[in-house]
Amino acid sequence: MSPPRDDGHVHLADYVPPAWRILHADLAFDLDPDATEVRARLVLEPDPDQPGQPLVLDGEELTLLSVAIDGRGLDAGRYTYDGRALRIEGLPGACELETRVRIHPAGNTRLEGLYTSGRLLLTQCEAEGFRRITFFADRPDVMPRWRITLRAARERYPVLLANGNPVARRELDDGRHESVWENPHPTPCYLFAIAAGELDRVTHSVRTAEGRQVELNVWADPADVARCEYALGAVERSLRWDERRFGRGYDLDVFNVVAAQDFTMGAMENKGLNIFNARYILADEATATDADFLAIESVVAHEYLHNWSGNRVTLRDWFQLSLKEGLTVFRDSEFSADLHSRAIKRIEAVRVLRGRQFAEDAGALAHPVRPDRYREISNFYTLTIYEKGAEVIRVLHTLLGEDVFRAGMDRYFADNDGRAATLEDFLAAHAAASGRDLSQFARWFSQAGTPELTITEDFNAATGDYTVTVDQHVPPTPGQPDKQPLVLPLRFALYDAAGAAITAAPETDAAINGAMVELVAARHALRWRGLRAKPLAAFNQGFAAPVKLRFAQSPAELARSVRVERDPVHRWDGLQRLATRAILSRDADAADALEAALADLLTDAAADPAFVAECLVLPDFDTLADAVDAVDPGALLDARDALLDRLARVLAAPLQARYDAFAEAAGQGLDGAAMAARALRNACLAWLARVDASGRLAQRQFDTARSMTERGAALRCLLHFGAPGAPAALAAFREQFAADPLVTDKWIGFVVTRPDIAACDDVEALLASSWWKPANPNRVRAVLGNFQRGNPRAFHRADGAGFRLVAERLPALDATNPQVAARLLGGFEGWRRLAGPLRAQARAILDGLDGRLVSPDCRDLLARLRDS
């Protein structure tokens, strides 16, 4: 890493290896919420290629108590500390540095470094939080082995956890005790963690494929430990899956997971000690929905899988962030696909990609999967790094096939184990395993923007020639006006008039690999000869190419494609495209075709209920907005509602029939069939509730609910469609779960997403109530995040009241927790694409924030939002 240039940015091109290595770190903590003392003994060695450099260690908000080299205290004149870095000149060579500092966990509202959550003491270090704990080279390419000693009052902190394996415990005087941990794997400091407090656990011991006995523990507040069983099971499933699918074993004697109510992100993969936002751990059927269970399993897998993709092989610098995040999202999504329905998992990923990542790629904050500069790395934990990064890995997997990809992964892990790697290292391993030249593929990492594929077809009835032209275009993004073509795997199929697949291979200038063409140029042509009639073409099955496809098929062709295609993702997509046409172009034929196709699906007793449920979820606001030039949110949502109202009215009978048919199956616990039954019933309910002013059905489901999946969905319908029973149901729900912050977040989410501009008043009321807890990131997201992202109608209110609700909270939130504030500020990313008056409102709001946001996080984002 390197210091920022004069432009305030750290640049990828400036990378230099650390001048000093840290071979071993021995840390001792005297834990106390008001004053924790940290003693660090670091074994240092200069890089032989960079001799004579001063030792410069990061350190922020540390009270320096003493500095010693090789056991001799240094006078104040021998070092400097300016509040950001400790600097020592003239060190002879390899030596041992000992520092003592004092920190103040209870005053740490940023939740970065060592902080308190309730009565727990916890850490969060990624990306640059370790420097708030002690002096250190806070960069991922410095990887010591660790010994960590924790001391604290036994009564208040009976459990003391750190990275690695526990090696010793003893009682001390004055009611204190001590616990010692060793992490033998070279590990960067962003993966450092400790957790201390009154925790209880669920535990399970497993024997790994390599024969290691491992204790798996999930820790939580004793009152919550009964809700940790599902997460514990998910840890074991993840461990087994990584053994089977990637041949990767677990490498310590314990794997600890801790649930915390105050956590800025989702969860963190610290070596041997994952720390989680409680919402991704705590679950039982009475308090968590099926979606919560699946999210828990997937986040648990994500963090577990980081143990190889991120921890054993770590990052050279933060520009490589997607090397661990994109790769690990790819791995966790394969885990979920292998364990559950691959098609449903893919449909959900495509929804997120289209609704959120494409919008990011088209907005003010667009950036490549590997950015080439940053001002604040915390602002790069984005959908592009995670989801697009995973798509790029998926593209590689599709191009190489499972076996060659696996060989490339084996090679990557073998060549880079214990090292800090780059995306080049990753590609080199795959190039070697596959024998392919991946230099063009590497453009996926450096170019921002969503590729667009335009398909033009021509059928010559005289000759029977059917010619398809595929044009590829990547639009300009901030700082990147010109783009080069990418490598894209495009699956295709042709069907004849009877719906049978035409299997003849096309003539083409591109490489063909089975039913997939590899696009490498800005234009390719495919030609089939001697067809009897114009075929029905399908492109991009499985959404293997993460692109925007422009292919002007008629509603009749789309409807046929939904019938004849075998790929569920493609069938679902045909319905999405019909709905998009019906909403954005007010295309009556598209609406009719959609209605007919849905009627077929709803009466097809053989259809997978989970798939039908997905088909009942029409493109959301963000996805629709991404398809138009100037976004008028009110008009767009009116058109969407009109289509939904019509479909719900016309299809009421089959919707009700499906709803009734699955009543019993929906009560059968957590297996896939029961979840699918609940998904379909809730999807039917959401439509039926639109056209039933009495709210009778939702009320009955609320009153007789067997699970949170049923109860929550019913409450949401009552609230969103203004049913007479809504206030009483809300009060009962609120009362029943008042002591549970996670379930409280749920009703808040329903309230603030009521699709009515008057929801602004409800948000206002919440902000003035005792439910508003601005120091708790989950609560901020529940109130303001849900409002901003989940209530496009009220957030985009024409008078700017929705924008103001969020913007006016930002200065105070920024002073408390800059990362939480920055996320909300990022919610303005699409402002330039809004239609006239609303764009002016947004601009005024952003201009008004200038000078009122102090963190580097928010200042960076605000500048990018306004400059774009």
436 SS3 class: coil
DSSP codes joined into one string, 334-360: HHHHHHS-HHHHHHHHHHHIIIIIHHH
- Examine residue 640 and tell whether it contacts ligand PHE (CB under 6 A): no
- Examine residue 303 and tell whether it contacts ligand PHE (CB under 6 A): yes
Query: b/e string for 31-66 if b means 16 or more Cβ within 10 A?
Result: bbbeebbbbbbbbbebeeeeeeeebbbbbbbbebee
Count the residues of the shown chain that bind ligand PHE, applying the rule CB under 6 A. 12
The packing angle between helices 672-688 and 708-720, to 10°, is: 10
* Binding region for ligand PHE (CB under 6 A) out of 120-128, 633-641, 644-652, 801-809: 120-128
Please, which residue, 561 or 817, has the CB nearer to ligand PHE?
817
Which among Zn ion, ligand PHE, none contacts residue 384 (Cβ within 5 to 8 A by kind)? none
Nearest residue by C-beta to ligand PHE?
265
* In the complex, minimum distance from the CB of residue 307 to Zn ion, in angstroms, rounded to a whole number: 11
Which among Zn ion, ligand PHE, none contacts residue 282 (Cβ within 5 to 8 A by kind)? none
Q: State the Rg of the chain over Cα.
A: 28
Sequence letter at residue 750: F
* In the complex, minimum distance from the CB of residue 264 to ligand PHE, in angstroms, rounded to a whole number: 6
Please, which residue, 196 or 267, has the CB nearer to ligand PHE?
267
- Examine residue 269 and tell whether it contacts ligand PHE (CB under 6 A): yes
Q: CA 661 to CA 612: how far, in whole Å? A: 14
The answer to whether residues 140 and 149 touch, using CB atoms and an 8 Å cutoff, is no
Which among Zn ion, ligand PHE, none contacts residue 268 (Cβ within 5 to 8 A by kind)? ligand PHE
* In the complex, minimum distance from the CB of residue 772 to ligand PHE, in angstroms, rounded to a whole number: 24
- Examine residue 270 and tell whether it contacts ligand PHE (CB under 6 A): no
Q: CA 88 to CA 67: how far, in whole Å? A: 10
Please, which residue, 316 or 711, has the CB nearer to ligand PHE?
316
Please, which residue, 303 or 860, has the CB nearer to ligand PHE?
303
Please, which residue, 306 or 370, has the CB nearer to ligand PHE?
306
Q: CA 230 to CA 233: how far, in whole Å? A: 5
* In the complex, minimum distance from the CB of residue 115 to ligand PHE, in angstroms, rounded to a whole number: 12
Which residues, 6 or more positions from 664, have their beta carbon under 8 angstroms from its beta carbon? none
Residue 268 token pair:
């963190």
In the numeric block, the tokens 């989950």 are attached to 778
- Examine residue 332 and tell whether it contacts ligand PHE (CB under 6 A): no
| Closest by Cα among 483, 480, 369 to 427 | 369
- Examine residue 10 and tell whether it contacts ligand PHE (CB under 6 A): no
Please, which residue, 325 or 622, has the CB nearer to Zn ion?
325
Which among ligand PHE, Zn ion, none contacts residue 265 (Cβ within 5 to 8 A by kind)? ligand PHE
Break the chain down into helix, strand, coil percent, rounded to 5: 45, 20, 35
Among 381, 495, 543, 721, binds ligand PHE (CB under 6 A): 381
Site for ligand PHE in 121-160 (CB under 6 A): 124, 126-127
303 is catalytic: yes
Site for Zn ion in 285-344 (CB under 5 A): 325, 328
Pick the catalytic residue from 303, 376, 391, 829: 303
Helices (H), 364-422: 383, 389-400, 402-416
Please, which residue, 389 or 774, has the CB nearer to ligand PHE?
389
Phi/psi of residue 460, each to 5°? -100, 105
H/E segment holding residue 200 = strand 200-207
* In the complex, minimum distance from the CB of residue 405 to Zn ion, in angstroms, rounded to a whole number: 20
Which residues, 6 or more positions from 553, have their beta carbon under 8 angstroms from its beta carbon? 561, 577
Cα-based distances in Å from 6 to 10, 11, 375, 866, 867: 9, 11, 11, 21, 18
Please, which residue, 426 or 803, has the CB nearer to ligand PHE?
426
Count the residues of the shown chain that bind Zn ion, applying the rule CB under 5 A. 2
Largest interatomic CA distance in the chain: 96
Among 26, 138, 292, 325, binds ligand PHE (CB under 6 A): 325
- Examine residue 265 and tell whether it contacts ligand PHE (CB under 6 A): yes
The residues annotated with a catalytic role in the active site are: 303
The contact set with Zn ion (CB under 5 A) reads 325, 328
The contact set with ligand PHE (CB under 6 A) reads 124, 126-127, 265, 267-269, 302-303, 306, 325, 381
